Amino acid sequence: MIGRDILGIEDLSRDEIELILETAERMQEIGTREVKKVPTLRGRTLINLFFEPSTRTQTSFEIAGKRLAADVVNFSVGSSSVTKRETLLDTAKTLDAMDPDCVIVRHKVAGVPHRLAAVLGAPVINAGDGAHEHPSQALLDLLTVKEQKGRIEGLTVTIIGDIAHSRVARSNIYGFSKLGAEVRVAGPPTMLPVGIESLGVKRYTNLREAIEGADVVMALRIQMERLEGACFPSVREYAATFGLDRAKLRFAKEDAIVMHPGPVNRGVELSHELADHRPSVILDQVRNGVALRMALLYLVAGRGRKAGEAESRAARAAGEA
Binding site for ligand CP (CB under 6 A): 54-57, 128, 137, 261-262
How near is the Cβ of 154 to ligand CP at its closest, in Å? Answer: 26
Tell me whether residue 92 or residue 104 sits nearer to ligand CP (CB atom).
Answer: 104
Q: What is the radius of gyration, based on Cα positions, of the chain? A: 20
How near is the Cβ of 16 to ligand CP at its closest, in Å? Answer: 21
Task: Report residue 19 CA to chain centroid gap.
Answer: 17
Tell me whether residue 3 or residue 104 sits nearer to ligand CP (CB atom).
Answer: 104
Tell me whether residue 263 or residue 308 sits nearer to ligand CP (CB atom).
Answer: 263
Collect contacts of 200-209 with beta carbons under 8 A, ≥24 apart.
Answer: 200/173, 201/173, 201/177, 204/158, 207/160, 207/241, 207/242, 207/248, 208/248, 208/251
How near is the Cβ of 57 to ligand CP at its closest, in Å? Answer: 3
44 φ, ψ to 5°?
-90, 150
Q: How many secondary structure helices (H) and strands (E) does the chain include?
A: 13, 9
Tell me whether residue 111 or residue 302 sits nearer to ligand CP (CB atom).
Answer: 111
How near is the Cβ of 304 to ligand CP at its closest, in Å? Answer: 27
Tell me whether residue 125 or residue 306 sits nearer to ligand CP (CB atom).
Answer: 125
How near is the Cβ of 192 to ligand CP at its closest, in Å? Answer: 21
Closest CA relative to residue 57, chosen from 167, 164, 162: 167
